[in-house]
Structure 1
Amino acid sequence: MDKINLLIIVTVISLFISLFLAFFLLTVKTKHKISNSLFAIFLIITAIDVSGTLFNLIADSPSNLGMLRNSFAFLQLPVFYLYILSVCYSDFKFKSQYLIHLLPFLIANVILLPRFYTVDVASKIKFLKNYQSMIELQFNHILFHIQVVVYIIAVFMLLRKAKKLYLENYAGACVNSYNWLFQFTVVLTILFLVAFLKNIFKFSDYPYISEWIKIGLLVFQLLIFCWYLFKALNNPGLFRNIDSKLKLVKDIISEEKKSEQLAVNDEELLKLKKYMVEEKPFLNPSVTIQDISNDLEIPVRELSLLINHKLGQHFYDFINAYRIESAMDILKDVTKSKLTVLEILYHIGFNSKSSFNTAFKKHTGNTPTAYRKSL
């Protein structure tokens, strides 16, 4: 099988799966409609981007539509960034200011107007034959790679902040979803780095290497999206949104210091500890700082300072500490020796064995099974 046939086969498979998944995301009934729609748009844009091989077989000559299709790559990461934003924050809504993300796409097309979009077919052919020396194409490639770097950094910064906010305000196992989303972004980053390498070869003396890398990218890209959607669709509660109005504790402290209002009430601390022992809110697997704030009638802002600043713990670790102490009491109780580790972890508020083992080892230095055997 030659390179062209292989490229066509891989392209057709990629297009079919990408468009099928996009159709599913756009039609499935879910409360995460915006997130699903954004990821579907991302898949459609990706499908347009990878359809080059088939498009070139159909088109007899260079066209404005073909060039426009190429420029859709400038929309991939902006849409992915908005998707991440919608996943992280429950109150995400489209705003007019998001139109700024179209700017690179518009710039890339505007600079092609004089010598490509507005000229005849012969001039278009000449333009593409000499692509390595065309300043417009060189500029667009530089602009694209700058855009990739900027958006990848922006996504990682967004995920980092969202995870911190989650740790400071939530205690459910869903924090693992942000770790997984981080992993997915890392893999996607690798994909774009390989694409960057492909483009280097495209403008070098070895353009044929670029074509082989392109085939590898298509296969890799296909596997990534299948992996992502398999994970997401098999775990509908994978992502738990947070309120974008929430502030990091370090920002709250900074604001309090400026207004000279930074203070932590010891009575509230005793009230919190008594509440945790008597009411055991940690047994609720999805307990949030807002839930405890409502029960204790302590403002979320003050409670967050109390736990994250005074006690020096994330809310996530604060709740898990009580869960692990409860687990240790159960493991020590000889009358409950028949309870399995799985039964115990569900009873004390964990949702998965991996998160329970991680938290238990962090707190005690042992796994639950090893701890029970050591008694």
Structure 2
Amino acid sequence: MTRALVDYTFWTFVYTAGAVQAALLAMTLWRRPANRAANHLLAVWVALSGVDLAVKALYWHLLSPEWFRAYRFVALFPFLYGSLFYLYVRALVEERKFQPRDLVHLAGFAVMLVFNAYVLLGSHARLQSMSARWIAGERAIGAWFDGPLFLYSLSYVVAALVRVRSYRRQLREYRSDADRLSLRWIDAMAGFQVAIWSVAIVQSVVYLPILNYGLLFGLVAAWVCMVGWFSLGQPPVVSKPEAASVPDERDAAAATDTARFAEVEGRLAQLMSGEAPLYLEPALTIGQVAKRSGYPEYLVSAVINRRLGGSFCDYVNRLRVEAVRAYLVDADESRTILDLAYACGFTSKSTFNAAFKRQVGDTPSNYRRQHAAAAIT
């Protein structure tokens, strides 16, 4: 048995395992109630990846010209992956189902299907010749579309990340636990796709034994496992941040209602002080604060932005940082810094550290150490 066939045998097992994993994951995602519209799209995406891996496993196991047609067909599936990623992200942040007009995002796949018709509709003799050249290691067949694939798919990944960034910005304006809901797994999914396409581009331009098609689609199999890890643990996504858009007439009312700003500010100070200040609630939203204050949400938002400075998230985190500082200078306080941060309403270590450094100009640990040294002297 040649070395090439040994390699094919190894990757056949990897691909088969990935295809089975993809089938199970797709069924699970389709039935998952959280983020239903988005998970339906993700299920289709994962299922296509599974079909892609299964066909490659069969072809590499049989090395049959009859399967080469199917092999070249699924080779076009990556032209769907970038657009499906974009549609998945859009469904997450907007709770928007797939519509007939969204078929335009599948145009790249349709165009490449036409360009590859000479392979898909070729005679048996032609397929046999192409298959033999492919098995022998000639990668010129279809390699020309690796560049367009990378650029086309990358544009969709960038568009998806732009939507995520906009979503995060809106979320920070209205939720103090925005970091927990900010779709960090999307960054990992995007990075994994870019890595896969980068390997594809390198192996099509220069021959490197380690960067072969086996490794490339081995990464696809690993990607399926990664998607399973992240997607099945997703919390329900806040698809429309509360009060993300406020009617124009309310904006106008807030602008002319400055006479009430002082009383609203006083009410907020009352809610954020005392034995059980409101900022201690980790998932606090501006809607909840407005409800407790008894004032309209647009008015509370206007007071925070114009009188107290910054967004709602900035305002709440400032209060939390001040509460943590009070604990850090207390010599009798034995809890860890992270425990104190959580006790004061933070839900993320990174968010706490960034807010503390921005407000105090020092790290929490150094701040505590300096005050402990000052107390001894």
TM-score by length of 2: 0.77
1:50 aligns with 2:53: yes
SS at match of 1:71: coil
Distance 1:218 1:65, change over 3 A: closer
Asked whether the equivalents of residues 202 and 211 of structure 2 are also in contact (C-alpha less than 8 Å), the reply is no
8 Å Cα contact 2:146/2:200 also seen in 1:
no
Instruction: Provide the rounded CA distance (Å) in 2 between the counterparts of 1:84 and 1:342.
Output: 32
Does the 8 Å CA contact 2:18/2:224 hold for their aligned counterparts? no
- The alpha carbon displacement at 1:73 in A equals 2.0
Structure 2 residue aligned with 1:276: 268
Q: Is the 1:42–1:76 contact (alpha carbons within 8 Å) kept by the matching residues of 2?
A: yes
Deviation at 1:321, TM superposition (A): 0.8
CA offsets 1:272-298 (integer angstroms, 9 cap, x no match): 532332112322211122223444465
Q: Which residue of 1 aligns with 2:205?
A: 200
2:264–2:295 Cα contact (<8 Å) kept: no
Contact 1:171 1:315 in 2 (8 A): yes
SS across alignment from 1:92: coil
Alpha-carbon distance between aligned partners in 2 of 1:294 and 1:118, rounded to the nearest angstrom: 65
1:83 maps to which of 74, 83, 88? 88
Cα offset, 1:243, TM superposition: 0.9
d(CA) in 2 for partners of 1:217, 1:112: 21
Task: Give the equivalent residue in structure 2 for 1:121.
Answer: 124
Q: Report if the CA contact (8 A) 1:165-1:246 is conserved.
A: no
Written as runs of structure 1 = structure 2, the 5 A alignment for 1:10-29 is 10-27=14-31, 29=32
Alignment of 1:78-157 (within 5 A): 78-89=83-94, 91-113=95-117, 115-125=118-128, 137=142, 140-157=145-162
Map of 1:229 onto structure 2: 228
Segments of 5+ residues of structure 2 without an aligned counterpart are: 273-277, 372-377
Q: Provide closer, same or farther for how the CA distance between residues 71 and 43 of structure 1 changes in structure 2, counting only shifts above 3 A.
A: same
Conserved? CA contact 2:318–2:359, under 8 Å: yes
Counterpart CA distance in 2 for 1:244 and 1:95 is 23
Root-mean-square deviation (CA), in Å? 3.7
Contact 1:172-1:285 within 8 A present in 2 as well = yes
Pairing of 1:1-375 with structure 2 (within 5 A): 2-27=6-31, 29-56=32-59, 57-58=61-62, 60-62=64-66, 64-89=69-94, 91-113=95-117, 115-125=118-128, 137=142, 140-175=145-180, 177-201=182-206, 206=207, 209=208, 212-233=211-232, 235-237=233-235, 240-243=237-240, 247=244, 263=255, 266-280=258-272, 281-296=278-293, 300=297, 303-304=300-301, 306-308=303-305, 313-332=310-329, 337-375=333-371
1:48 and 1:72 in contact (8 A); partners too: no
Deviation at 1:105, TM superposition (A): 1.6
Using structure 1 for the length normalisation, give the TM-score.
Answer: 0.77
Contact 2:41 2:88 in 1 (8 A): yes
Shift of 1:141: 4.2
Deviation at 1:188, TM superposition (A): 2.5
| CA shift for structure 1 position 348 | 2.0
Note closer, same or farther for the CA distance 1:266–1:327 as it changes in structure 2 (3 Å cut).
Answer: farther
Counterpart CA distance in 2 for 1:138 and 1:246 is 49
SS at match of 2:279: helix
CA contact (8 A) 2:254 2:302 kept: no
Offset, 1:163: 1.2
Q: Deviations over 1:91-142 (max 9, x none)?
A: 32232221212212222223444x34444322444567599888xx577545
CA contact (8 A) 2:321 2:355 kept: yes
| Preserved contact between residue 170 and residue 287 of structure 1 (Cα < 8 Å) | yes
Q: What is the distance in 2 between the residues matched to 1:269 and 1:173?
A: 26
User: Do the aligned residues in 2 keep the contact of 1:172 with 1:350 (CA within 8 Å)?
Assistant: yes
* Deviation larger for 10-19 or 148-157: 10-19
Tell me the CA shift for residue 152 of structure 1: 1.7
Contact map agreement 1:159 1:182 (CA 8 A) in 2: no
Percent identical residues: 21
